[in-house]
Amino acid sequence: MESTADKHYFETKIALTEEPLTAATRLAAAGLHADYMVYENAGRWSYAGGALAEITLDRNGARLRHTEEVLLPWDGRPLQQVERLLESVRVAGWRAYGWAAFELSYAKEGDLSHIEDERLLHLVVPQTEILLDDGVAHLRSADPQTLAAALEALSREGVPHPDRPVAVDVQQVGAEEYRKAVASAVRDIQDQKLQKVIFSRVVPVEDEIDLVDTYLVGRRGNSPARSFLLNMGGVEAAGFSPEIVVQVDDQGRVTSQPLAGTRALTQDPAENLRLRTELLADPKEVYEHAISVKIGWDELIEVCEPGTVDVVEFMTVKERGSVQHLASRVSGQLASGRHAWDAFGAVFPAVTASGVPKDAAYASIRSHESELRGLYSGAVLTVEQGGAMDAALVLRAVYRQNGRTWLRAGAGIVGQSLPDREFEETCEKLGSVARFLVPAV
């Protein structure tokens, strides 16, 4: 699978004259590449466009398009196949960007019985990569002309001023159906078929919107753990992720961040404090959060050195756009011989977007939701040649594919759940995006 020669980047850097968010959206809007991804991680924005190497995964297997095309037929170990193909990429110092669909969770152990023709994962090692951090833009591209075009885009004067966003009514769509689904799940939980499940609902967006401007305006109105803007393989999205699925550093330290338990975040500080106090004291919310943390612990134990897994932060409150969540962090040291893809496989999908136990939650989700989730509650991720990985949970996003645009949000259901409250929670979460949609001109 090795090519005869490595690919190389041409590199340069310039001082930034604007905030990284504005610069990143300027690059996305410049039309440098048909496919691209913008990713924000801890105050650093990345723009990745084009593809020196591309890896896709579906029921037929894992496919690499690089200097030649390689197909590894499905063998029941899809993530190991993806890792193997990435290791064969001959680009010095590569970093891969991409996404994983929620339905990968059904197949990551080899079972294809619930998989159709959908793409499960899509990664690219970009032709052009630009890191925006601390007032400096670090640019590299395999094509000098594209590098020059990126420099020109960053040097343009004038700050983008998107049109005024329009809000979408999220109260009316699917309300009764969602309440019935919640009531059904509560009965199943009381019958001990499962402990927790997350059901989602879809809100169509009828008007055409500008995803780049929506990302710019929405990011200014949100406080995410990660944010992203992507157009890759026909899948488009702009989102403000409230939590990571998993993070692995180059020393093998692995962290997951379960968020579960929700109240609204308003413009009134006194009301926010009241809701925060209520959230921390609500037995239903505390229970929902605690079982999510327990599953996160159990999953990391599978891939970490004995005795290294710890809850390093427990049940704090994080503000995420239009809501506030109970939040914890679970961390450990990867065991010898384990790698980032092992950690990703252990925790994906996030328990806070699936349920407990996961297999029972999957079955419940399939029986109550009318369409595939795809990118929703999957992950957007970066993977580095040195072994680091950062995977964000795809929530609080607007999606576009095959001429259709929509929003989607869910709520965690446990035995104490009330259908009206869970529906209200989906509306609160949808507000993180629904009020920032910028019409296309």
What CATH number corresponds to the domain at position 256? 3.60.120.10
**Is 424 among the residues known to form the active site?**
no
Write down the catalytic residue from 83, 243, 285, 422: 243
Q: Name the strand (E) or helix (H) holding 358.
A: helix 358-368
- Sign of the CA dihedral with 248 first, then 350, 40, and 12 last: positive
pLDDT at 6 over 80: no
Q: CA-CA distance, 355 to 250, in Å (whole number)?
A: 30
Work out how many domains the chain is built from and give that number.
Answer: 1
Is the model more confident about 67 or about 160? 67
Is position 135 within any domain?
A: no
- In the structure, what pLDDT confidence band is assigned to residue 332 with cuts at 50, 70 and 90? very high
| Token pair recorded at residue 129 | 């990569």
pLDDT at 160 over 70: no
| Token pair recorded at residue 341 | 């893809």
Is position 392 within any domain?
A: no
Is position 90 within any domain?
A: no
Taking only the tens place, the pLDDT of each residue in 270-323 is 999 999 999 999 999 999 999 999 999 999 999 999 999 999 999 999 988 888
Query: Which of these ranges, 235-249, 260-274, 292-306, has the smallest mean pLDDT?
Result: 260-274
Give the CA distances from residue 234 to residues 35, 310, 398, in Å, rounded to whole numbers and listed in that order.
8, 40, 14
Global confidence as pTM: 0.95
Is position 54 within any domain?
A: no
Taking only the tens place, the pLDDT of each residue in 335-392 is 999 999 999 999 999 999 999 999 999 999 999 999 999 999 999 999 999 999 999 9
Q: Name the strand (E) or helix (H) holding 49.
A: strand 44-49
pLDDT at 3 over 80: no
Is position 201 within any domain?
A: yes
Residues in a beta bridge with 115: none
Helix spans in 229-357 (H)? 269-281, 283-301, 340-347
Is position 429 within any domain?
A: yes
pLDDT at 1 over 60: no
Is position 146 within any domain?
A: no
Given a contact cutoff of 8 angstroms between Cβ atoms, the answer to whether 57 and 78 are in contact is yes
Taking only the tens place, the pLDDT of each residue in 34-64 is 999 999 998 899 999 999 999 999 999 999 9
Q: Which domain holds residue 418?
A: 175-205+243-371+401-434
Res 2: pLDDT: 41
Residue among 411, 401, 427 nearest 355 (CA): 411
Is position 421 within any domain?
A: yes
Given a contact cutoff of 8 angstroms between Cβ atoms, the answer to whether 381 and 226 are in contact is no
- Mean pLDDT within 208-219: 96
**CB proximity list for 71: less than 8 A, separation 6 or greater:** 60, 61, 62, 63, 64
